[in-house]
Amino acid sequence: MSIYDTLNEPQKEAVFHTEGPLLLLAGAGSGKTRVLTHRIAYLIEEMGVNPWNILAITFTNKAAGEMRQRVDDLVGFGSESIWVSTFHSACARILRRYIDRLGYDNRFTIYDTDDQKTLMKEVCRKADLDTKRFKERMLLSVISSAKNEMIIPEEFELNAGGDFAQQQIAKAYREYEAQLRANNALDFDDLLVKTVQLLDTQPDVRESYQERFRYIMVDEYQDTNTVQFKLVSLLAGKYRNLCVVGDDDQSIYKFRGANIRNILDFEKEFPDARVIKLEQNYRSTGNILNAANGVIRNNKGRKDKTLWTDNGEGEKITLRQFDTAYDEAEFIAEDIRESVSEGASYNDSAILYRTNAQSRMFEEKFVAMNIPYKIVGGINFYARKEIKDILAYLKTIDNGKDDLAVRRIINVPKRGIGLTTINRIQESAAERDIGFYEALLAPELIAGVGRSASKLDSFAALIEYFKGQAERESLTDLLNEIIEKTGYIESLDGDTPEEDEARIQNIDELVSKAAAYEEDCADRDEAATLSGFLEEVALVADIDSLDEDQDYVVLMTLHSAKGLEFPRVYLAGMEDGLFPSYMTIIGDDPEELEEERRLCYVGITRAEQKLTLTCARKRMVRGDVQYNRMSRFIREIPMELLDTGSGRAGVSNTGTAEKTSFSSLQKGSQLTAQKGGALTYGVGDRVRHVKFGEGTVLDIKEGGRDKEVTVEFDAAGVRKMFAMFAKLVKAE
């Protein structure tokens, strides 16, 4: 029996179509990784393609690792020559070899989000920008968007025209790029942009990689941005054997620059493309899939497809509406505990929500009930202070031009080198147009450092010693020597011994990570380098920390959940105003609402056997109580698929639940309406708010100096506000 006999007909068609552009529309749970790995095996075994000539790209290290393992198991000998990589890792690998063509040193540093924020603070100071108006996070977001569209600082400045705000951002962008280059550093966006620039401007490099990668496969194509599209187009430009796999219904990263048009318009870019749909789902039950289909078919900007399965109908989808978010969290915690008592594992369950803030209530409940849990998207291991300190030593040893790294550790542990001295070093370096570390090597030339000169000399000597050791020692030995000679562990001064112990454990884990990196390099018969290790840890994402073998309930946002699956899924906070968000509802942008709907579709299709949807009538948001109606996405699910339960927690159906809530509010407002005073509107009247639009007055109460008005707005749900500040106007 052939390995290809286990595939269904559309899967076989995708595997056997090897030449020319191919668009594989792979619905959730339809076995796309299986298709990709079998396609690679078919290219090698049946078509005689050299493994060296195959490139498979995906988005996360976790997905790349899984694909790598499956390819190794399926192909066996020779599989190590296949490039299975994330976009950023592939680009970093290319740039390590050729970035000197663009004027950089090949030992560049990759800046993470924290590094970028630190650098942007320096940029704002140098450019004299008002950080109250131009916040660092906003500037970095705008710059990232520009890079994703391949807009360089000069073009951005040209586009700014006479707009003062845009001119200021352009100034920040220009200075930010200048600082990166001076530090011989790249941010994540640069990894893609610089690779495209390299391939665009260096014909010999471009042709070399086009020859190398004659067969290219791109997973999660719906998440690609403009620069990624350009990169893939350049690499596939000669042989055009490009297979892209994706699902437009799961395009949920517009805020990161993802361009859904890349997948929707693939046939326009490649008119001779073959299109194959994978619609059979192997993950979920029929009821779950029918709910997902019911929601997503309300989107207009999509390619038509319908998920189906042979798994049977399964349980109905549980729907529960609660009075408060507290009740919601209590129900979910109790439900998980009950499922475990019946034989399930904690890691069978995942709670998915729209915003990170929703995790707090669940955390409190789980701690009280002794339920183990893990939040995906918390503090990244590599963002912890002690880890960033040790990594800054490694970065300084590897790339002395990285001013951020040098400044971070010059007085860590404390060496008596104060901020005044650091500023004088910086000023001296700027005057002489050299880097911070280069200035340190000759402290006698730095004006005003006085007795600190000997301390600077000692620090520079220590770094130079480590640089020499890096040439002779293994990475783990170097790390241990840094920790020992700097006295870092002895210098820890946490609030409690437990805090110090946790930091020591984190440092030990970093050493273990270095040892694992060296082992992996040995297995691949590659040299373990300091640059390579720093590159690997820089490209780790939050989701890569998820250990599926550990027995804990997983809590994460819907955005983090894509690509994962769980036997039991709870979608919490299913309310208009929260999901879809309030800004989406009032924004009147159909594309924004369609992206939120795709996010709901992703959440539903994470469930294998059991799906529970929960919502609350009132929820505390930023200190205010908000009354929200049930999410419109729930109302798009066919009623016959829902189990609405009974009693306090359940609702008989969506419509009745809202009528009951509305009528009870109306009833309570009749008496107070008679005390309405001199307002131009009363209970039941239609009113208009400058921000929330039109709505109906549900209640008016005396609130001391002012009247408290409760209004159910058509788009924004129920809001309580004081009449004086609300400035409501009776609608005509």
Catalytic center residues: 32-33, 219-220, 250, 606
Answer yes or no: are the C-beta atoms of 576 and 270 closer than 8 Å: no
What's the rounded Cα separation, in Å, for the pair 444 and 272? 68
Strands (DSSP E) contained in 332-454 are 349-353, 373-375
Residue 377 structure tokens: 């998207």
Contact yes or no for 331/649 (Cβ under 8 A): yes
Contact 697, 681 (CB under 8 A): yes
Give the chain's largest Cα–Cα span. Answer: 87
Distances (CA, A) of 494 to 197, 497, 500: 46, 7, 5
Cα distances (Å, whole numbers) of residue 202 to 395, 545, 651: 29, 37, 64
Smallest Cα–Cα separation from 685: which of 654, 631, 731?
A: 731
What DSSP designation does 82 have? S
Q: Which residue has the tokens 């006085």?
A: 450
Phi, psi angle pair for 553, to nearest 5°: -75, 135
> Residue 321 has which token pair?
């509406």
CB 723 within 8 A of CB 705: no
Beta carbons within 10 angstroms of residue 547's beta carbon: 10
**Residue 623 exposure: Cα atoms within 13 Å on the Cβ side:** 0
- For the record, the structure tokens of 23 come out as 């668009």
How long a stretch of residues is the chain?
Answer: 732
CA 530, CA 391: separation in Å to the nearest integer? Answer: 11
H or E segment and range at residue 608: strand 607-621
Neighbours of 126 (CB within 10 A): 15
Asked if residue 239 lies in contact with residue 210, where contact means CB atoms within 8 angstroms, the answer is yes
Gap between the Cα atoms of 253 and 559, Å rounded: 8
* Residue 662, both tokens: 């509305």
User: If you write DSSP's letter for every residue of 609-664 in order, what string do you get?
Assistant: EEEEEEEEEEEEETTEEEE-PBPHHHHTS-GGGEE---TTT--S-HHHHHHHHHHH
Angle at 723 between CA 718 and CA 727, to 5 degrees: 90
Taking alpha carbons only, the member of 437, 420, 418 closest to residue 429 is 437
* Cα–Cα nearest to 644, from 390, 336, 320: 320
